[in-house]
Structure 1
């Protein structure tokens, strides 16, 4: 599976048999928030989302970036594959409003 980063559309994409699967993201300095994973019905149940997520996380790690897993699928994937927890961005603004 070849996964490309379509920076113009802020999404990673793969094309399988004419069907496009995507992982949409938003950019912050040094961080990619992975917001949504979409796999066409024709590719459902074939492990496309898992394989794509693995490749996307690898690209993020190789770029020296951190990730915020907003998408529930990606959150579950990282929970099942704890080796990726090292690239999760730390939460910022840990202060509670009452502490300000």
Structure 2
């Protein structure tokens, strides 16, 4: 899976056939606020949504910035993957 950081549109994206999967973000105070996810039909159910988020978090981690999960999907990922807890800003507990 090839995740692209489309900085102009402020989202991470994956092209799936003729559809686009996106994880939208805003950057404030050295933090990525992941504000919205939009996946093609069956993308999430097939596990591709989680794979995309994992790769997205890998990209963010390389920047040294923190992540503020703003969607149910991203919050649930952090709950299920405690090894990523270090990416959350101080004071955010899920």
Q: Same fold (TM over 0.5)?
A: yes
Question: Shift in Å at residue 44 of structure 1?
Answer: 4.4
Q: Distance in 2 between matches of 1:90 and 1:9?
A: 28
Number of residue pairs the alignment of both structures matches: 92
TM-score by length of 2: 0.90
1: CA distance, partners of 2:26 / 2:56: 14
Instruction: Show structure 1 runs of 5+ residues with no match.
Output: 93-100
Say if 1:79 and 1:44 are closer, same or farther in 2 by CA, change over 3 A: closer
Using a 3 Å threshold, how does the CA distance of structure 1 residues 44 and 59 change in structure 2: closer, same or farther?
closer
* Distance in 2 of aligned mates of 1:76 and 1:3: 20
Q: What's the offset of the Cα at 1:29? A: 2.5
- Aligned residues of 2:14 and 2:21 also touching (Cα < 8 A): yes
Query: Quick check: which has more Rg, 1 or 2?
Result: 1
Q: Which runs of 5+ in 2 are unaligned?
A: none
RMSD: 1.5
The answer to whether structure 1 residue 31 and structure 2 residue 36 are counterparts is no
Looking at structure 2, the residues matched to 43 and 56 of structure 1 have their Cα atoms a distance apart, in angstroms, of: 15
TM-score (norm 1): 0.85
**1:91 Cα deviation after fit:** 3.8
